[in-house]
């Protein structure tokens, strides 16, 4: 016996409403429906186990109700928080989010972008590697695109949301100087074309030169393995021991690498070496004596990125490119202490 196909007509008949009303519900136009009507439709969909055909909707209405999201590293807590922010806005508007991990690989990034275009995504949100930005800016003219966290070098061409990487780095170093630290080391993965890391490094080197009277480039320790991070740490804390040292980790992953290295050396955090870093992921205040962090609101970045791309999708295509820079905050804990 052939199983009867469940269609939008079936849902409309069971719910006692028109096909147009069902279509409004499926497209997230809830403001046009009463709570009672929504409840009836939800019950009918659940009873019939109805699943809308997104491809058919795309061909008929010109919209897929799908948003593509390209993340540089889904293994990072930053990405999970960011995507939750994006999804919280998208689902309320009746959109689904498709996530691809580029693994910071420029080829995978471009392949994902092209696949999203061919799959008729309504818009794309990208946490860019930085390598393909010139090409991506060209393609963004044909599909609503938002850059999140890592701004492209040309701000005026595409919607962008990020945090104040440069100024918050300088604020952190000024705070460390007030506490009496004389040497600051920036520990980072390779910076490459990553614009967020570039801005943080620039803020770091400018602050060392202008606020400390030191050459900043000599204090940037780039590593590609935990062993190399450990070697840099041992050198940093033993070189010029008469100068009070502190470490700034360029992001949350680097901060974890530094803390693992410190554990192997037995260095006392705060007393023998100050420690601070970007990203406040919930465990910073659980590690004795508490780790000072530059906290950025990744969830809000995701919310704003989703709002930006939906604005383009739903009628704002001709508006000038928007640039939003959120302010980070310095969460002070015991890993940075005044000299006494």
- CATH number of 83's domain: 3.40.50.2300
Per the model's pLDDT, the better-predicted residue between 55 and 22 turns out to be: 22
Look at residue 333 and tell me if it is in a domain: no
The predicted pLDDT at position 78 comes to 92
Cα(first)–Cα(last) distance of the chain, in Å? 84
Look at residue 337 and tell me if it is in a domain: no
Choose among 187, 329, 173: nearest CA to 250: 187
Residues 203 and 275 in one domain: yes
Look at residue 58 and tell me if it is in a domain: no
DSSP 25: H
What is the share, in percent, of the chain residues with pLDDT greater than 70? 94
Residue pLDDT, tens place only, 194-203: 999 999 999 9
- d(CA 159, CA 174) in angstroms, rounded, equals 31
Widest Cα–Cα separation across the chain: 85
Residues 248 and 280 in one domain: yes
The predicted pLDDT at position 62 comes to 61
Tell whether omega for the bond before 289 is within 30 degrees of 0, i.e. cis. yes
Residues 188 and 201 in one domain: yes
- d(CA 167, CA 323) in angstroms, rounded, equals 16
- Domain with 13, as residue range(s), is 8-52
Residue 58 pLDDT greater than 80, yes or no? no
Residue 159 pLDDT greater than 90, yes or no? yes
Residues 147 and 173 in one domain: no
Residues 256 and 319 in one domain: no
Tokens at 176, concatenated: 């460390």
The predicted pLDDT at position 2 comes to 45
Look at residue 59 and tell me if it is in a domain: no
Residues 215 and 277 in one domain: yes
Strand partners, 69: 99, 125
What is the Cα Rg of the chain in Å? 24
Give the pLDDT mean for 123-137. 93
Residue 119 pLDDT greater than 60, yes or no? yes
Residues 258 and 286 in one domain: yes
Q: How many domains does the chain have?
A: 3
Look at residue 1 and tell me if it is in a domain: no
Which pLDDT band holds residue 55 (cuts at 50, 70, 90)? low
Look at residue 340 and tell me if it is in a domain: no
């Amino acid at each position: 016996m052939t199983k009867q196909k469940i269609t939008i007509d079936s849902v409309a008949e069971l719910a006692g409403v028109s096909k147009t009303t069902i279509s409004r519900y499926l497209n997230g136009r809830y403001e046009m429906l009463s709570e009672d009507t929504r409840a009836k439709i939800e019950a009918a969909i659940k009873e019939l186990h109805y699943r809308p055909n997104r491809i058919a909707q795309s061909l008929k209405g010109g919209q897929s109700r799908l948003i593509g999201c390209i993340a540089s590293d889904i293994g990072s807590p930053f990405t999970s928080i960011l995507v939750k922010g994006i999804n919280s806005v998208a689902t309320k508007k009746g959109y689904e989010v498709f996530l691809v991990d580029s693994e910071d690989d420029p080829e995978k990034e471009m392949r994902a972008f092209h696949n999203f275009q061919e799959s008729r995504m309504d818009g794309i949100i990208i946490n860019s590697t930085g390598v393909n930005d010139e090409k991506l800016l060209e393609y963004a003219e044909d599909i609503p695109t938002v850059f999140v966290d890592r701004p492209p070098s040309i701000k005026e061409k595409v919607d962008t949301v990020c945090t104040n990487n440069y100024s918050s780095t300088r604020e952190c170093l000024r705070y460390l100087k007030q506490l009496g630290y004389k040497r600051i080391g920036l520990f980072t993965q390779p910076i490459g074309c990553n614009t967020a890391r570039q801005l943080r490094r620039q803020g770091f080197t400018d602050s060392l030169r202008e606020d400390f009277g030191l050459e900043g480039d000599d204090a940037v320790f780039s590593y590609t393995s935990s062993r190399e991070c450990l070697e840099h740490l041992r050198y940093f804390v033993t070189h010029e021991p008469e100068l009070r040292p502190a470490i700034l980790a360029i992001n949350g992953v680097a901060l974890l690498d530094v803390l693992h290295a410190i554990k192997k050396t037995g260095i006392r955090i705060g007393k023998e070496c100050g420690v601070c870093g970007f990203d406040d992921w919930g465990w910073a205040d659980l590690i004795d004596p508490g780790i000072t962090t530059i906290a950025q609101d990744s969830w809000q970045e995701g919310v704003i990125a989703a709002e930006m791309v939906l604005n383009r999708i739903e009628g704002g295509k001709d508006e000038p490119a928007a640039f939003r820079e959120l302010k980070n905050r310095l969460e002070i804990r015991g890993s940075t202490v005044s000299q006494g």
